[in-house]
């Protein structure tokens, strides 16, 4: 088989779905790797770093020739239309975002695997791209907060006394939030954190942060959170407002799969923050946890800086690509033998990740959302 690696088409996306080490592993399985020239450049991988790879004349040739196309974000429609009928597409395909895209994949009879649909069981952890990329994003958000804060994060002792450490509040303690907590702690901040899933308390405390108790629990299915009722939201808001008012930096990472990010921090809460406080809303691109955040913008609201970073994982494309490339390899490699692809529909992880196959929209959850 030919594994195709295109240049990403979304502006600002700098990651790629292979790194040289992982290309070698595909070659060891007997697969050929075909790349679009320059596909690795945004992540600082030059074409000559990929030994034994064939380079397609252009994007159109690459899409038409690949048996398995790996991507980070969904390719633009004109490229999807150029895919070989019956070929496999694997990446973070944003399955809930665009019914037209799903229809196109059905029409072209593409076997599309969206890593967002990965069943989160123990065996699939090494394939979990949402987790690996969330870890990158959480780390970055803590650095963005530190970089924009007018205060030191760590305690600092100098000849004339001691500077108190900054107070950081992290809302949402999933994979990204926990990495933001760990990073802020490593830089020396005092960290508080909150999540609606009560089991996160222990994880937060094990990182040396304090858990903010609001008395609201929203453990949902599959390890994810459920949406809160209006009453629960009011209770959460009241208790959180105090913690928000006291912090120097607020990092929000709350998400509900397939839904708009929950709005947790109101304009009124921002108005009561300390002058010079920084807010980093990691959920800005998916609707925002903070009222008033604009994706891709930094805004002063009174004397509080509200940041809505976008393409966060692309801020460190080398390691984000390395982590992502390994996730993809661990997903697809069990089905590549002697250079041939043999999918196993009895495999619950593979089948669970399938968005479209043989002209059908296979995933029940996505079918429900797209109608």
Strand order in the sheet with 354-357: 54-55, 32-35, 2-5, 68-70, 88-91, 111-114, 354-357, 360-361
State CA 155 to chain mean position distance.
Answer: 31
Distance in Å, CB of 172 to ligand NAD, minimum: 3
| Locus of tokens 């108005």 | 271
Rg (CA), the chain: 22
Q: Which single residue is written with the structure tokens 């830089």?
A: 187
- Determine whether 120 is an active site residue: yes
CB of 229 to ligand NAD, least distance (A): 11
Q: Has 58 been annotated as catalytic?
A: no
The span of 16-24, 169-177, 312-320, 325-333 binding ligand NAD (CB under 6 A) equals 169-177
172 binds ligand NAD (CB under 6 A): yes
For ligand NAD, which is the closer residue by CB, 62 or 244? 244
**Binding of ligand NAD at residue 255 (CB under 6 A)?**
yes
Cβ-based nearer residue to ligand NAD, 152 or 224? 224
Q: Of these, 94, 125, 206, 337, which contacts ligand NAD (CB under 6 A)?
A: 125
37 vs 119 by CB, closer to ligand NAD: 119
158 is catalytic: no
Q: Which residue has the tokens 């990204």?
A: 176
Q: Does 211 bind ligand NAD (CB under 6 A)?
A: no
Distance between CA atoms of residues 97 and 105, nearest Å: 14
The minimum distance between CB 225 and ligand NAD, in angstroms, equals 3
Single out the residue of 66, 90, 204, 225 in contact with ligand NAD (rule: CB under 6 A).
Answer: 225
Closer by beta carbon to ligand NAD, 188 or else 258: 258
With tokens 């300390």, the residue in question is 274
Is 125 known to be catalytic?
yes
Q: Could you give the 3-state DSSP secondary structure of residue 22? A: helix
Closest to 252 (Cα-Cα) out of 218, 292, 221: 292
**In this structure, what are the phi and psi dihedrals at residue 170, rounded to the nearest 5 degrees?**
-110, 125
Q: Is 120 in the site for ligand NAD (CB under 6 A)?
A: yes
List 106, 253, 293, 314, residue binding ligand NAD (CB under 6 A): 253
Token output for 178: 């926990």
Site string for ligand NAD, 77-116 (x = CB under 6 A): ----------------------------------------
Nearer to ligand NAD by C-beta: 111 or 203? 203
Q: Three-state SS for 47?
A: helix
CA-CA-CA-CA torsion for 232, 237, 238, 241, nearest 10 degrees?
160
The dihedral of CA 86, 87, 92, 98: what is its sign?
negative
Query: Is residue 197 involved in binding ligand NAD (CB under 6 A)?
Result: yes
Catalytic-role residue among 106, 131, 314, 321? 131
Question: Which helix (H) or strand (E) covers residue 368, if one does?
Answer: helix 364-370
Does residue 324 have an active-site annotation?
A: no
Between the CA of residue 286 and those of 94, 96, 187, 362, what are the distances in Å?
A: 11, 12, 28, 24
Angle between helical axes of 317-332 and 129-148 (0-180°, round to 10): 170
- Among residues 125, 126, 206, 368, the one annotated as catalytic is 125
Q: Using the rule CB under 6 A, is 192 a contact of ligand NAD?
A: no
- Span of 47-55, 69-77, 122-130, 294-302 interacting with ligand NAD by CB under 6 A: 122-130
- What positions carry a catalytic annotation? 120, 125, 128, 131, 224
Residues that bind ligand NAD (CB under 6 A): 120-122, 124-125, 128, 130-131, 134, 171-177, 194-197, 200, 223-225, 228, 253-257, 262, 264
């Amino acid at each position: 088989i030919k594994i195709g690696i295109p240049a990403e088409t979304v502006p600002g996306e700098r990651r790629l779905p292979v790194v040289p080490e992982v290309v070698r592993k595909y070659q060891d399985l007997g697969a050929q790797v075909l790349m679009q020239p320059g596909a690795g450049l945004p992540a600082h991988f030059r074409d000559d770093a990929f030994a034994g790879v064939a380079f397609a004349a252009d994007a159109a040739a690459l899409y038409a020739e690949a048996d398995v196309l790996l991507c980070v974000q969904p390719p633009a429609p004109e490229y999807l239309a150029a895919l070989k009928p019956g070929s496999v597409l694997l990446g973070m395909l944003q399955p809930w975002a665009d019914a037209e895209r799903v229809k196109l994949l059905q029409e072209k009879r593409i076997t599309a695997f969206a890593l967002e649909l990965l069943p989160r069981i123990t065996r699939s952890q090494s394939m979990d791209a949402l987790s690996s990329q969330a870890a990158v994003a959480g780390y970055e958000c803590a650095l963005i907060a530190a970089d924009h804060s007018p205060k030191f994060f760590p305690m600092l002792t100098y000849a004339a006394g001691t500077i108190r450490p900054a107070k950081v509040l992290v809302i949402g303690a999933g994979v990204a939030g926990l990495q933001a907590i760990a990073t802020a702690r490593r830089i020396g901040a005092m960290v508080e954190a909150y999540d609606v899933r009560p089991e996160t308390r222990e994880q937060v405390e094990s990182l040396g942060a304090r858990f903010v108790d609001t008395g609201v629990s929203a453990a949902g299915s599959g390890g994810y959170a459920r949406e809160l009722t209006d009453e629960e939201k009011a209770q959460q808001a009241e208790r959180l407002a105090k913690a928000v008012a006291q912090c120097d930096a607020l990092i929000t990472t709350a998400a509900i799969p397939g839904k708009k990010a929950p709005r947790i921090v109101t304009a009124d809460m921002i108005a009561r923050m300390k002058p010079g406080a920084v807010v980093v809303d990691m959920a800005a691109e998916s609707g925002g946890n903070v009222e008033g955040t604009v994706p891709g913008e930094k805004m002063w609201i009174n004397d509080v800086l509200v940041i809505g970073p976008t393409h966060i994982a692309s801020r460190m494309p080398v390691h984000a690509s390395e982590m992502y490339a390994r996730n993809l390899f661990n997903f697809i490699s069990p089905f590549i033998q002697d250079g041939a692809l043999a999918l196993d529909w009895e495999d619950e992880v593979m089948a669970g990740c399938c968005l479209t196959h043989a002209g059908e929209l296979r995933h029940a959850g996505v079918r429900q959302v797209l109608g």
